[in-house]
Amino acid sequence: MKKIFTLFAAVMMAVTVSAQHEIGGIVGGLNGLSYKYWFSDNLAIQADLAVGLTQAASGQNIPGYGYQNSDFPMFDFTINPNLLYHIGLPANFKFFVGGGINFGMMSDLRIVSYGTNVLSGKFGINTDLGFSYDIQAVPLVLAFDFRPGYGMQFTDQYGGSFFDWKLAFAVRYRL
């Protein structure tokens, strides 16, 4: 058991020493903090803690308001971790593709304007694809991505599912 623990500790130290971290901000459909941890040259996990507007693509039945159309904005607070695979392109560009989950809280902006703010939870899955550019002169990475996804909204009063998509631009400092 001691040998297994020692081997595990050595591998973890090697991964930590060779790991690359990026931290910065994200704007667009998501607005907040962005963090990326590289496992290898091609595989990374990116986590975003953000607020934004969700443009739901399916309606829902809200008690007291009836069936709502599909073009309503929802204010949301989201945590969105994604596992990404990167493919190197010429001139410090990379294409990436992956997916992950998103969870957090939502509120229908029309209900807020009527004075009955119903805060609901949300959970969903999403894909993530885009491009990044690594600036070699300074340790900065610029990234643009598209995140289509499917989510579920739930409270004790109502629930529903929706298709959502986000466009986001990130600037991260490479540590």
Tell me the C-alpha to C-alpha distance, in Å, between residue 34 and each of 3, 5, 64, 73, 82: 37, 32, 38, 23, 11
Domain ranges of the chain: 20-174
Count Cβ atoms below 10 Å from residue 45 Cβ, excluding itself.
15
Tokens of 32: 């907040």
pLDDT in tens, 77-104: 899 999 999 999 999 999 999 999 999 9
**Can you tell me the distance from the alpha carbon of 168 to that of 84, in angstroms, rounded to the nearest whole number?**
15
Instruction: Report, as an integer, the average pLDDT of 19-31.
Output: 90
Residue 3 confidence (pLDDT): 67
> How deeply is 90 buried, as exposed, middle or buried, from its count of CB atoms within 10 A (0-12, 13-18, 19+)?
exposed
**pTM assigned to the model:** 0.77
| Cα radius of gyration rounded to whole Å, the chain | 19
**Can you tell me the distance from the alpha carbon of 149 to that of 75, in angstroms, rounded to the nearest whole number?**
16
Tokens of 159: 């629930």
Count Cβ atoms below 10 Å from residue 23 Cβ, excluding itself.
13
Residues with Cβ < 8 Å from 74, sequence gap 6 or more?
Answer: 53, 54, 55, 56, 106, 107, 108, 109, 153
Fold held by 20-174: Porin (2.40.160)
Between the ranges 23-37, 118-132, 154-168, where is the mean pLDDT highest?
Answer: 23-37
Count Cβ atoms below 10 Å from residue 94 Cβ, excluding itself.
19
pLDDT at 24 over 80: yes
